[in-house]
């Protein structure tokens, strides 16, 4: 089956410091999975932060970046300088893009807390 493992629990970072949330994936059924980072801000629904569908490519959004590394099966999320507004829960996910639907397999989520 498919699985996603990401930094567990809670990560606390001081404002303006750098961030990395690790994500590795495993799949036995999808040759070229699409990789995603979703974010859930307090009181809101999950929303897409960034996605990459081609191995070796980098995605970026709102100052966050992630590179699709097929050799290490990783898709780590990084930001050079975090802000208080980045406090949220971040989910790494993989999916197979088919015409009918995108079956997403999520990680357990990482809660990011930014200290002022």
Which residues of the chain form contacts with other proteins (CB under 8 A)?
4, 38, 43-48, 51, 91, 97-109
Report the residue number, 17 or 102, with the smaller CB distance to other proteins. 102
CB of 9 to other proteins, least distance (A): 9
Q: How far is the CB of 15 from other proteins (least distance, A)?
A: 27
Least CB distance from residue 98 to other proteins, whole Å? 7
In the bound state with other proteins, the residue whose beta carbon lies nearer, of 31 and 101, is: 101
Nearer to other proteins, 30 or 106 (CB): 106
**Would you state the structure tokens that stand for residue 97, as one six-digit string?**
């893009």
Q: Between residues 15 and 104, which has the closer beta carbon with respect to other proteins?
A: 104
| DSSP per-residue codes, 43-102 | TS--EEEEEE-STT-EEEETTEEEE-BTTTTB--EEESS--GGG-EEEEEEEEEE-SS-E
CB neighbour burial string for 44-72, b if at least 16 within 10 angstroms, e if fewer: eeeeebbbbeeeeeebeeeebebbbeeee
């Amino acid at each position: 089956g498919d699985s996603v493992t990401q930094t567990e629990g809670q990560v606390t970072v001081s404002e303006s410091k750098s961030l990395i949330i690790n994500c590795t994936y495993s799949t036995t059924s999808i040759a070229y999975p699409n990789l995603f980072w979703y974010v859930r801000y307090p009181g809101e629904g999950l929303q897409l932060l960034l996605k990459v569908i081609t191995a070796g490519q980098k995605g970026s959004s709102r100052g966050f970046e992630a590179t699709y590394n097929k050799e290490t099966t990783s898709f780590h999320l990084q930001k050079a300088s975090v802000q208080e507004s980045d406090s949220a829960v971040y989910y790494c996910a993989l999916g197979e893009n088919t015409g009918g639907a995108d079956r997403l397999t999520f990680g357990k989520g990482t809660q990011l807390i930014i200290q002022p």
